[in-house]
Amino acid sequence: MGKKKREHFAEMKTFPCVFEPTNEQMTSGAHHMKGKWHEEFFKNDGPITLELGCGKGEYTIALAKKYPTQNFIGVDVKGARIWRGAKTADEDEMKNVAFLRTKIEFINTYFDKNEVDHIWLTFSDPQPKDKKGTKRITSNIFLERYRKFLKPDGVVHVKTDSDVLYEKTMEAIEEGNHQIIHNTDDLYVKDFDSFSPDMQEILNVKTFYEEKFLAVGKNIHYVSFRLSDVSNQA
54 is a site residue for ligand SAM (CB under 6 A): yes
208 is a site residue for ligand SAM (CB under 6 A): yes
Give, in order, the Cα–Cα distances in Å from 112 to each of 26, 36, 51, 173: 14, 8, 16, 23
Chain-centroid distance of CA 197 in Å reads: 22
21 is a site residue for ligand SAM (CB under 6 A): no
| Catalytic machinery residues | 125
What is the rounded CA–CA span in Å between residue 112 and residue 169? 24
Give, in order, the Cα–Cα distances in Å from 165 to each of 37, 102, 133, 137: 30, 22, 11, 9
161 is a site residue for ligand SAM (CB under 6 A): no
109 is a site residue for ligand SAM (CB under 6 A): no
Least Å distance, CB 206 to ligand SAM, is 9
85 is a site residue for ligand SAM (CB under 6 A): no
Q: Which stretch binds ligand SAM (CB under 6 A): 7-15, 52-60, 184-192, 222-230?
A: 52-60
121 vs 155, which CB is nearer to ligand SAM? 121
Cβ contacts of 23 within 8 Å, gap of 6 or more: none
105 is a site residue for ligand SAM (CB under 6 A): yes
81 is a site residue for ligand SAM (CB under 6 A): yes
130 is a site residue for ligand SAM (CB under 6 A): no
What is the rounded CA–CA span in Å between residue 128 and residue 168? 9
Q: Which stretch binds ligand SAM (CB under 6 A): 39-47, 48-56, 161-169, 186-194?
A: 48-56
**Nearest-CA neighbor of 140 among 183, 163, 170, 100?**
170
Least Å distance, CB 126 to ligand SAM, is 9
115 is a site residue for ligand SAM (CB under 6 A): no
Least Å distance, CB 11 to ligand SAM, is 18
**Nearest-CA neighbor of 54 among 112, 97, 10?**
97
**DSSP-H helix ranges across the chain:** 3-12, 23-26, 58-66, 79-91, 140-147, 163-176, 197-203, 208-215
Q: What is the DSSP letter of 131?
A: S
Least Å distance, CB 110 to ligand SAM, is 12
Give the footprint of ligand SAM on this chain (CB under 6 A).
Answer: 53-55, 76-78, 81, 103-105, 122-125, 207-210
